[in-house]
Structures are given as C-alpha cells and as structure tokens.
Structure 1
Amino acid sequence: MESISLPEDLWTLRIEKPGQKVWSNAQGDARSLNFFNVVPDLAANLIPENLHILRNDFRSKIPAGEGGLVSLDLVNIQNISALQIIIKVRIEQIRGFMYAGSCLIPRADFSHVIRFECIERSPTGLREAMVMMVNKQFTGNLETGKIIGWNRDPYDPAFDETAMYNFADEEIHDAQFPDHPLTRVRQHMRTLSQSIVFDPLVLKSKPFQKK
C-alpha cells in the first residue's frame, strides 16, 4: 500500500486494513486506495486499438437496469499506463445515482485501484431537469414514454436502448453544476492524475501484458 501516496490534506482516513485504505471528505465523498497482489484480469492490453474491447468488457459487467458506463479512457500518469472509468449506479432509496470514478493501474503481477464515490443528494434530478429545460430538441415518444435521443451510450449506439448515460451527463454541463456528484468525480479524477506519487518500485515494475 505504501507504494502509492495520495494527498490527505482534504481527506480524513476512515478505514485502514491490509490492501485497502478509505477516506472521506467534507462533502461526504469517499476515496479508497486498493491493492491487489494478483495478475490483473483485464480483457486486453492498454492500447488505443483495444479501447472498444475494454469498454465492451466493463459495460457488460454492470448489471442491466442498475447502472451504466459514463466514460472509460486510457491515461498516462508518469509514464504508467492506466484506465480511468466512471460509472453511474442507481440508488432506489434516494431515487438518484451514485457516481463512481476508478483509476485502475495494472502492472505485470499486481494492480492498484483508486476509487471515488459521490452520491446524489436530495433533491435529485435537478441537473437533468435544468439541462432538458434549455434544450428543446428532446421530445417524448408517445408509445414508450421515453425521451427520444436523451439516453445514449457514450461510445456505441448499439447500446443506446439500455444506456443510463444521458445528455445531461455530458462534461460540457459540469461548469453549470459544480456541486453535482458527477462533476465532483471528474474533478477528483483530474486532481488524482496531478497529485499521485508512485514509489520507485512501481515505476520500475513491468507493465501489464495480456497473455
């Protein structure tokens, strides 16, 4: 666990056990650092040509009707290849969503995952309502009751029918909703890339290669 360091000035350590540390901040967001001492179980190597394979694999792991893929991208952090993934998960109790952003850092025989979780607070759905109010191009389907073109998969229209990602989730709306949990997750992910510190052992370790 000591092979990766994260800034703690805005975070309070809540849980520390072998392989995991968990923090929270003043907004109620959670951050965890997880270590897995096994060969990473990824569908493909982390190269641009494999993005569709990786996106399809992670999309398939999200239970239908319970959540959806927001984004999955390759990033390079201090010459270390990593995956940044954001998903949204429905929480029926609040009639809203939890947004989770994960940075997966796979090496040849181990991996680290830094995960942020931000939960929508009451009243929920304000971002969606306000974005829809000023974007009049969206109309309802009288047969299905669904809003045409509102929900869409961020990468593949073949998955639009079951997608939970919608137009209001687009990053262009974040500036208008700085306190929204999706905006906060994206900001946490950006800050992580700039502030994470790797131990030399990680920097010198062999990169992940799918066998």
Structure 2
Amino acid sequence: MSAPHPPIAFDTTGFEREGASPVWVDPATGYGVNVAVNEGPPFNAAWMADLATLRRGFAEMFAGRGCIIEADLVPFGGVRAVYQVMKMPHPRNPRGTIFAAVFTLTKATRYAQITAFGAEGNPGDFTGIRETALFAKLGRPDNWILPHPYAPDLKTALPFHRGDDPAFDAQFPDHPLSWVRAQGRRIHQTATVAPELANLPELAGPV
C-alpha cells in the first residue's frame, strides 16, 4: 500500500521517508521534516491581526519550553502561515539543544504544521560548537545574552543570544540551527498545500 499524501508537500530531494509516516529524514545528518494536522485553532485568533501581538504571543507561549528565535506571518503555498524558528532543551542531554523551523497553517477549525528539526546533543555529539567558536571570535562579549526582541521583559527557559543570529549560519552550515533555517527556506519556496486544507475558512485577520 502506498503512503498517504500529506496535506503539505515540499521538495523531498535527498530525504528518505520513514515508511508511511509523515516524516522525512536527511540521511547525511539525521535531521528531518515532519507534517502534522490537528483539530481546533492553534492560538488566539486576535494574534493574526497584528504582527507585534503575534510575535509576543508566541514568545510568551513558548517561554517555558525554550525560546522563540524568529516569528513572522508569511505567504505559503497559496495560503498563509506563521513561520517560527525555535530552540528547546534536548530531553536526553542537558547540554544539548533541539532547533526547529515551523510553518503553521492557521485555519478556523484545523491547523497543519510542517516542521524541520535538528538536534545538537545526540549521543556522541560535541555540544556548543557554534557558541564556542563565536566566543573565541567575539571575545566572549558581555552582551552575549540579549533581551528577547519580541518581549524584552520576558524570561525564557533558554536564553536568546547573539549566536542565534542568522548572519552566523554561513559559518556553521552543518549546525542544526543553520540546517533548519535552510530547510525552512527550501520548504517555503517549494511547498504546495492540498485544496482540502487550503480552502478551509481562515482563522482571522487579513489574508
């Protein structure tokens, strides 16, 4: 039996699908992409009407689990999506970090997410490579940890810091944060959304 078609398709060149599951894995890194559909609205509909409100809302919602690095409202496969880049502690390595780039398609009664994910701190990994190299280059600056750009008064489970800046991705192309951002761009450029999802009523706010 063939695997079911996911509601969001993207360029999977170089990926291997895990059987009939909606998960594609990059064999070179072990990082992957997942597609999921859930019932109900994913967050407060009022967030969709104002980008600053949306960014602060996501930063606060995720603060206890990690840290939102980026959030934006973007066109996506003919519809719209909330784009997020986030980080969270690795559940099996206290020094490791999981990174994800997520597109959330926000419909009134259902939402779909496509997530590129990669982890630093898997067994055998040396953690903190990006941070260590940048400390050496920048001289371990006093302003390494920064106020959160979407909520300066917010305390997050993982700090927002200078090493999260996408300007450093080219120096660390194999780091999971660089990888998920690159896959986010690839997904954004190639994604198509199935009509049965795209044609559902919008959650709120301007299209």
| TM-score, shorter chain, exceeding 0.5 | yes
Query: Which of 1 and 2 has greater Rg?
Result: 1
Residue 83 of structure 1 corresponds to: 82
> Corresponding residue for 2:172?
177
Equivalent residue number for residue 22 of structure 1: 23
Kept in 1: contact 2:78–2:192 (CA 8 A): no
Deviation at 1:77, TM superposition (A): 1.9
| Equivalent in the alignment of 2:45 | 44
Runs of 4 or more off by more than 4 Å in structure 1?
A: 160-163
- Gaps (5+ residues) in structure 2? none
Taking the aligned partners of 2:26 and 2:158, their CA distance within structure 1 comes to 30
- Alignment gaps of 5+ in structure 1: 140-147
**1:28-177 → structure 2 map (5 Å cutoff):** 28-36=30-38, 38-45=39-46, 47=48, 50-62=50-62, 64=64, 66-91=65-90, 93=93, 95-121=95-121, 122-136=125-139, 138-139=141-142, 148-159=143-154, 164-177=159-172
Where relative contact order (Cα < 8 A, 6+ residues apart) is larger, the structure is: 2
Q: Pick closer, same or farther for the CA change 1:131–1:28 going to 2, 3 Å.
A: same
In 2, distance between residues paired with 1:60 and 1:79? 29
Superimposed CA distance per residue, residues 151-207 of structure 1 (whole angstroms, 9 cap, x where no aligned partner): 431323222676512101101000111101000000010000111112334444332
Please tell me whether the aligned partners of residues 44 and 50 of structure 1 are also in contact (alpha carbons under 8 angstroms): no
The percentage of counterpart residues that share the same residue type is: 22
- Cα distance, 1:96 vs. partner? 1.6
Calculate the TM-score normalised by the size of structure 2: 0.82
RMSD: 2.5
Inter-partner Cα distance in structure 1 for 2:26 and 2:67? 25
1:40 maps to amino acid:
P
| Structure 1 residues 122-179: Cα deviation after superposition (integer angstroms, max 9, x where no partner) | 211111111122223713xxxxxxxx45243132322267651210110100011110
The 3 A distance-change label for structure 1 pair 14 and 2 is closer
Distance across 2 between alignment mates of 1:88 and 1:2: 25
Residue number in structure 2 paired with 1:143: none
- The 1:60/1:160 distance shift into structure 2, 3 A limit, reads closer
1:9 aligned residue: 13
Distance 1:62 1:70 in 2: 10
Q: Distance in 1 between matches of 2:6 and 2:158?
A: 38
Q: 1:46 to 1:120 in 2, by over 3 A?
A: same
Give the total of aligned pairs: 196
- Whole-Å separation in 2 of the counterparts to 1:161 and 1:198: 33
Secondary structure of the 1:157 match is coil
**Partner of 2:189: helix, strand, or coil?**
helix
* Equivalent AA in structure 2 for residue 39 of structure 1: G
